[in-house]
Structure 1
Amino acid sequence: MTRAATGHMFKHYERARDEQGDYVKFGNEDIDLTRSHLNYNLAPAHQDGQGSFVRQRCSEVRMQNRKDVNVMCSWVVTAPKDLPQADESKFFLKTYDFLAERYGKENIVSAFVHLDETTPHMHFAFVPVVTDEKRGGYKVSAKECVTKSDLKTFHTDLSLCLQHSFGRDIGILNGATAEGNRTKVQMRLEQAKAELEKMNFELSAAEQNLSKVCVEGARRAQEASSLQLKITSLAKERDALQGKIEGLQTTFEKIRSVAFSERALKELNPKVTDKGNVFIPEKTFLALKGMAQGLLSYYIADKEIKPSIRQAIKDFESTLPVKKPKQRGDDSR
């Protein structure tokens, strides 16, 4: 990592706090503050701090004057899953000795063991100093210090070292380490592939749910359309029934008017002459004429009330005075 990036890691190693007062984290670890006092550093403490040591060590060897130069490397070594808790201290101490021998004690920045996170682990930080084959002496070169060959053999070499110390295999080599240590790019790629596979699975499930929702939505839409058609049909039937009721009401009122006129006619007590003629006032005649015209128009307009109109007409005709037939011998008088 570059000089600019080291400050954040130093704070995490030492359990320093940021400007908001929160502990600086590396990745997504959850820190259990009740266990932070159990953390310790296996490397000798530097009087002026880790950053000062890195600057001092880089000044003692050859280093390119560029901001992108990696001035520090770090291994994060996690205790094996099945390692007894009683063996953890020995595990980290022997691992520290292995790393110090591999990368040089004089280059060690720190080796903090964290026991307050999810799994016990050690951050072994060092300045990547190697022999300068061209110009002699030493130089800072992370590329030449941590090579692909180093990554490939790291876990195998560590496993053999710890197997010798413990007298047994403690489970360093597993599915993730048996074929050699993976670079950060490889690990991120594998992590991205796993996340992509998970996302594809979730997407497929979401698509299936969406399909079910669409089918259910189409079914409900069809039901709603059918109900709307039924409502429209019922509304038309209602309007037709309402019109029929209003028509019958009108007919009833008009027939009642006829009956009223019939009663009025009876009350007139029309005069009948000897010749059978009926004399009524002109006003009454006009009323009867209008009534007859109205009945005729109802008869033509609504076939359903034909029987009632006919009966009304018959009833009306029966109220009129009947002209008496002439008797024999009347002409001789």
Structure 2
Amino acid sequence: MSGFTPRTILVTGGAGFIGSNFVRYVLYVNNAVKVVNLDALTYAGSEENLVNLPDPNRHTFVHGDICDHDLVSCLLQEHAIDTIVHFAAESHVDRSIAGPEAFIRTNVQGTFTLLEEARKYWLEHQHWDEARCRFHHISTDEVYGTLGPGDPPFTETTSYAPNSPYSASKAAADHFVRAYQHTYLLPTTTTNCSNNYGPYQHSEKFMPTVIRACLKGQPIPVYGDGSNFRDWLYVEDHCVGIWKVIEKGRIGETYNIGGSNHWSNLDIATLLCRTVAKVTGETPDKILSLISFVKDRPGHDWRYAIDSRKIQTELGWQPAHSFEDGIRKTVEWYWERNE
């Protein structure tokens, strides 16, 4: 098993939900690493997510596009980047159904741009090997498709079967990462995660939508009959897992990171309602009465579940937050900010 110590990290999409949490985590746990944060600041990213960072002098923000070859090349050389952690992605399934082209550009073309510039700088210009550089790609469990009621959770060897333009674009990106490792020996690792939740998540996602509706006394939209199942992972636990893979993961390997919290969307909405009531002192029944069922989206995957035994066994990762604790922290974060 390899051991790797990042020195200067290029984080793409580091003003978004998971990316900003990762930037905050890395600056906190490693007092020597420097972070260059590249984000296009589309609807999903905001510099407000980067306020009050630990030791902000080690953080450099760059407003730019991961598809810009010249910019990426310049950043790699100017900052002597030895590690790329690639979060930047269009990630909302509904948006991918309405307009898939942006997902192809960012998720596929953007990933290719980063891989190609890393290959040229690290392997051709610097002649670095896996002891000196690392490309870590963040993917999703949605590339595996959907599970039936009795199907076992996704493992790292589950066949890809993406069902939405979003998951298809992420699957394509995963394949490019694998190909660059296999063909050029670019030192890569990949993680496929389950649904994340926690602070700084964009308001259009499921949990923030439910919490906001609860706090404002508005109807709480739940797709279909609410029976779709997801595996939920607290974002800080995800960041810890990513860091372990970067430092100790085997080159060319994929690691699934899941929370082992398998809940239906209706049960999640109910838990959020009860947690909001507990945090705010509101009557639970009043908030629960706001739940309303809306027309299901096309091709809605029924169930996701991740088997995380590989990262647990090889790298010793375990989620540190119980689901109830993570939900409470998330609700309190939004409530304190009048979200």
Q: TM over 0.5, yes or no? A: no
Structure whose alpha-carbon radius of gyration is higher:
1
Q: Could you say which TM-score interval applies, normalised by the shorter chain?
A: under 0.3
TM-score by length of 1: 0.19
Higher strand share: 2
Query: Per residue, is there more helix in 1 or in 2?
Result: 1
Greater RCO (Cα-Cα under 8 Å, separation 6 or more): 2
- Under a length normalisation based on structure 2, what TM-score does the superposition of the two structures give? 0.18
